Structure formats: structure tokens, C-alpha cells
Structure 1
Amino acid sequence: MSWWEHPGARCVEAPPKACCLPIAGRSSGLPSGPAPALPVAGGGDLAMTVAIPGGTVTVGTDAPVFRADGEGPARRVTLRPFRIDVHAVSNRRFAAFVGATGYQTEAERYGWSYVFHSFLAPGVQAPSPEGTPWWRQVQGAYWAAPEGPGSSIADRLDHPATHIAWNDANAFAAWAGGRLPSEAEWEHAAKGGDDAARFPWGATEPDDGNALCNIWQGHFPTQNTLSDGFLGTAPVDAYRPNGHGLFNTCGNVWEWCADPFRIRSISAAAKQRNQAAAAERERVMKGGSYLCHISYCYRYRIAARSGRSPDTSAGHTGFRLAHDP
């Protein structure tokens, strides 16, 4: 049995396959044109936020699971006080933004986005990126039609907005008068007041019978037992909040951060990864998603991280805003 097939495994290198998206940016080989223009600030977005105290905090870990992701080593960072959204930005909030500005997301500009294979309507055929057959490039998939033409968010207005690229999240932030959090801010807020926390609720491992966050149950990518009641996203206020009152900082959807993605290592592999990340202008994503599971993509830990190009979107990418006090 390979380590990534063993439910109790702990690893130090990334598995050959994971639920995360392909590294190559969507724009590779495509004339994407300039990034969308930022809307005018002051959109009057109403969001529940909490104050997070400043101070010197720990970011990353000295016990990395995926070294290739740059989870470690742990480092100390001094932060100013800030505020952060209690919830990820919901479909309802994103719809208000689009209604006020007419903004078109990257998925709409490109004409497609990544959809998990189980969500395709019967008979729908869509190509898969090499190495990740569970992802399909679905024409017409975007935030308001998450599974492609014919799908709707009408019954998911309080679920997190998905198919959101970093460029889209940044545009929403400009309109709403906020900003994307830094990786350090995100981790500090996610820990809920415990600088040593592994998860927002502490150290207890979620599993198929103990649903502490919205992750996969069963055998990825073919069987989800739905023991937590959710096949895809959950409402933004599902599960118990952490010590700061934040919901779903781990699981549900990946959340974009402001930082460029880079690995703090002098190894040859890290140098190569950083060069590729710089070429794609990758940005940090945190928190994992409803597709994560300890047996293959143990990235719903607070220290876990990933990076993708700013025009990348999928059915498990979302965001929340930070705010200066």
C-alpha cells in the first residue's frame, strides 16, 4: 500500500496526484488580454467582520506534511491589528457586486472553468487536464452556473461563491473597500487565538465519522459517503466557528491570499518551483476544500498552502476579505 492510500499516513513530499488544480495557468497558450479593470471602491458591501489583534505570530510549521508546498519552516511575523470577514464571500454577496458593477469573472472571459467530474450532468463530455482526471474543463461554468449551463446558485445563495480567480477576488475587494488577507493574517485569524493550533478548532483530526469541517468522506475521487451531508460546498456559516468567530477557514473552499506564492528554501527543487510560480504570477491559496482528505490531499491544515496563477478558477476556489482597522 502506498502512503497516500493509507488513512493514517504522514508524509513529507507531495503525492503524485491531489485534488488541487493543475499547476499550469489557464492562460498558457491563450491570448487572455489584460486582467479585468478594478471597480471603483465604495460599493457599500455589508459583511460581518471581527477584530483580530496584532502581535508577533507563528506562520508555517516545523513539522511539514508536504515539504514541496513550502509549509515550513515556521517563522515569526509581526502583524498590525486588522479585521477579517467572519464568512467566505457568499454567492449572495458576489451577486450584489456583479449587479452593481457588471463585472465579468475570469471564467466568463475565458468561457470555461474547472468542474469536479461528479457534478457533470449525465452525458456531458468535457476534457480533463493531464494528471487530474477528476477535473473537467466545462464550457460555460462560472460563479452563477457552477456546474455549467443549466446549473444555478438559486438554492446556494448562502454558500461560498466559487469559480473565483484571484483577479476576481481582488476586484471584489476594491469594490467592497477591503483587501485580500496576507498569508500571515489568514493563518493568525484561522488559529482562533491559539498560535500553536493545527486546525481552527485545535488538534483533533476530522475523519469520516467526525465531521468538523467540510472535507471529503470515503474514497477519492469515486466515492463520497456524504456522512457530513455535503457533496460540494456547505453554507458559509456551517460548522462551529473558531475562537475568533470565523467559519470554515479549513475545508469548504480554498481561499485566496494577497501574497505571491514562493517557497522559503534554497533547494534546487524549491528554486525550480519558485521560478515556475513567478512565471505564472501565482498567488497563495489557503484552507483546502470539500475535496480534501487525509489519505491523499491533507491540505485542510492551517499551515498547508498552495499556489495558482491569478486567472485560475474552479468549483472549489473562493475567498474572504480582510480590512484595515
Structure 2
Amino acid sequence: MIRIQGGTYNIGTNADDGFIEDVEKPVTAVTVAPFEIGETTVTNAEFAAFVKATGYQTDSERIGWSYVFHLLMSEAAKQDAMPLPRMEWWYGVRGATWDHPFGPDSTIENRLDHPVVQVSRNDAVAYCQWAGVRLPTEAEWEIAAKGGTTNTKWPWGDDALVPDGTYMANTFQGDFPWVNEKTDGFVGTAPVRSFTPNGYGLWQMIGNVWEWCVNPRYIPLAAFQTTSGPAFWAQYQAHDDADYATKGGSFLCHESYCKRYRIAARNGNTGESASSNMGFRVVRDL
């Protein structure tokens, strides 16, 4: 865990980089208490320890299927799956779970240092309750992602996603969503300590997997001026299908389709949703 000093920080952006409906604007000053945040997203190994200790069953296991990106699936898995209408690069796959992330014929055996995926927000909350931690607010996540800078796009600077030809994050290269040229080295997730950490020592705040946050999706940025800390966390622990915030983008983000791999970008999903590009990072109050 990395300590983030309490104080007043700016979140949001005044730029027109994203989508109007995401409510990224304007830049807003918020004050937060000190907290600690995980150096990485929670790994398969860490989530496996939780399941072993508790016998927890994830939403994907309970429901019986989950979403998988087509380039990660075997041909056999595709034969027993259904593509989503108008989003044919996603399949609903029976037996896709955290330990079989691309379908029943896949495994995490050689992926223990990758982020756990196929976890809903409900699953992330259950892990947090077991581990004595919690999910971050969007404000805390964004402050941490900046790494001590004033950047609003990427921790390494706002000029280029790939500065001087150096890949700093795991995103999609090529003809999205059909051909991934893999010039950053990965088609799917990367090990959590890949690329270069930000100024705080946090790994892969941008790309790799979407990271669940504690608060609902698209609440006004000004709400974080007066709501933070344990009380804010406690009111959103209920397991339900409301929309909750996610941050950071994933290995599927591409300029032609998803511009949400920026620090200030906002996204979300229902609390019981899971997919092959969704994980989480934890924080602890001080």
C-alpha cells in the first residue's frame, strides 16, 4: 500500500477530450483525508486466497456466464457462446469466471500475477470486507492516478499516449476491435507490475483493467467536496444492480472507440456486471 497525503487536490478536466454525458468537467477542488492505496490491482493470487479462506461464490459463478472479449477466446468456446448484438466483439460465455476468465477451457494457472477479472463490484466489496480495506472513491482514485502531477490525461504527461515510441500502458493497438497488433506486448491483461509506475509508485492506473470505485456512476464532481471517507463508503456497501463508477480504462481502450483511458475520464457499470477487462484496486483509511 502507498500512502497518499491528505489535502486539497484538483480532479476533473476543462478539456473536451471525453464524452459530454460522462460529466468530466469542470476542474474541481476537493479535500481528502490521508489514505493508503494498493500499488497494484488485486491479483488472481490474492483473490484466490480470499476464495480459499471464505468459500465465496462470485456473481459470474452464481449467474453461470459472463462477458469475454473475442480475441481471448478459444474457437471451441466460441462455438458454445453468443455474441452481443451490435457489439459482436463481446461474447456471453457460459462458465466464464474469475478462475476461468475466458471460458471453462481457460485457467489462471500461469496468470497468478495478472489482475483478477470477471469480478463484479459486489465481488470486490466482499473481498474488501474480508481484507479490511475498501474501494476508492473516484476522487481518491484520480488523485492517486496523477502521481503527484497536475496531469488530467496520463500520469506520465498530457502530450502523448506513447511518448517517444515508449509504451507506458496496456491499451489496444491496431484495428479495433478485430485486429490487435500487440505492439505493447499484450492482447489481454498484463502482469500487474508491467510498464512504469507513476510518481507515487502505483502500477498501471491507466489501461490493463477497469477498476471499480465505491460511488455511483456520474455523480457531480462537486459531491466529492463534502462526501469522502468511511461514511461515504458505508452508504454504498449494499449489493444491488445500480450503476457504479469505474476508472482507468483497460487493454481494450483505443482512440477510435473508447477515450476513457485518461485520468479524468469516467465510466461505470451495474454492480453485478463482470467481464474479462474489469478488476479492482483497494484503499485503506488512515
Give the secondary-structure state (helix, strand or coil) at the position aligned to 2:113.
coil
Q: Aligned-pair distance for 1:122?
A: 1.3
Mean Cα deviation higher: 77-86 or 120-129: 120-129
Any unmatched runs of 5+ in structure 2?
A: 222-239
Q: Does 1:117 align with 2:78?
A: no
Q: Aligned-pair distance for 1:263?
A: 4.8
Give the secondary-structure state (helix, strand or coil) at the position aligned to 1:127.
strand
Q: Percent of aligned pairs with the same residue?
A: 49
Contact 2:152–2:262 (CA<8 Å) still a contact in 1? Answer: no
Q: Partner residue of 1:225?
A: 181
Mean Cα deviation higher: 301-310 or 61-70: 61-70
| Equivalent-residue separation in structure 2 for 1:99 and 1:73 (angstroms) | 44
Q: Partner residue of 1:50?
A: 2
Q: Does 1:241 align with 2:193?
A: no
1:98 to 40, 46, 51: 51
What amino acid does structure 1 have at the position aligned with 2:31?
T
What amino acid does structure 1 have at the position aligned with 2:71?
S
Mean Cα deviation higher: 181-190 or 210-219: 210-219
| Equivalent-residue separation in structure 2 for 1:234 and 1:71 (angstroms) | 28
Q: Aligned-pair distance for 1:264?
A: 3.5
What amino acid does structure 1 have at the position aligned with 2:115?
P
Q: Aligned-pair distance for 1:210?
A: 3.3
| Equivalent-residue separation in structure 1 for 2:134 and 2:220 (angstroms) | 24
What amino acid does structure 2 have at the position aligned with 1:187?
E
Q: Aligned-pair distance for 1:131?
A: 2.4
| Equivalent-residue separation in structure 2 for 1:232 and 1:323 (angstroms) | 29
Q: Does 1:317 align with 2:269?
A: no
Give the secondary-structure state (helix, strand or coil) at the position aligned to 2:84.
coil
Q: Partner residue of 1:261?
A: 217
Give the secondary-structure state (helix, strand or coil) at the position aligned to 1:128.
strand
Contact 2:118–2:277 (CA<8 Å) still a contact in 1? Answer: yes
Q: Partner residue of 2:267?
A: 306
Cα RMSD (Å) of the superposition?
Answer: 1.6
1:59 to 7, 11, 14: 11
1:205 to 160, 163, 171: 160
Q: Aligned-pair distance for 1:204?
A: 3.6
What amino acid does structure 2 have at the position aligned with 1:116?
F
What amino acid does structure 2 have at the position aligned with 1:236?
V
Q: Aligned-pair distance for 1:247?
A: 0.2
Q: Partner residue of 1:251?
A: 207
| Equivalent-residue separation in structure 2 for 1:300 and 1:75 (angstroms) | 20
| Equivalent-residue separation in structure 2 for 1:182 and 1:73 (angstroms) | 18
Q: Aligned-pair distance for 1:185?
A: 0.2
Q: Aligned-pair distance for 1:198?
A: 2.0
Give the secondary-structure state (helix, strand or coil) at the position aligned to 2:87.
coil
Q: Deviations over 1:211-241 (max 9, x none)?
A: 1100001110111111111110000000100
What amino acid does structure 2 have at the position aligned with 1:219?
D
Q: Partner residue of 1:17?
A: none
1:172 to 116, 124, 127: 127
Q: Partner residue of 1:8?
A: none
Contact 2:120–2:272 (CA<8 Å) still a contact in 1? Answer: yes
Instruction: Give the number of equivalent residue pairs.
Output: 264
Provide the TM-score with structure 2 as the length reference. Answer: 0.89
Contact 2:218–2:266 (CA<8 Å) still a contact in 1? Answer: no
| Equivalent-residue separation in structure 1 for 2:152 and 2:181 (angstroms) | 28
| Equivalent-residue separation in structure 2 for 1:179 and 1:280 (angstroms) | 19
1:157 to 112, 134, 145: 112
| Equivalent-residue separation in structure 1 for 2:211 and 2:149 (angstroms) | 20
Bigger fraction of residues in strand: 2
Q: Deviations over 1:6-65 (max 9, x none)?
A: xxxxxxxxxxxxxxxxxxxxxxxxxxxxxxxxxxxxxxxxxxx01001111112111142
Q: Aligned-pair distance for 1:121?
A: 1.2
What amino acid does structure 2 have at the position aligned with 1:91?
N
Alignment of 1:68-87 (within 5 A): 68-87=21-40
What amino acid does structure 1 have at the position aligned with 2:32?
L
Mean Cα deviation higher: 202-211 or 311-320: 202-211
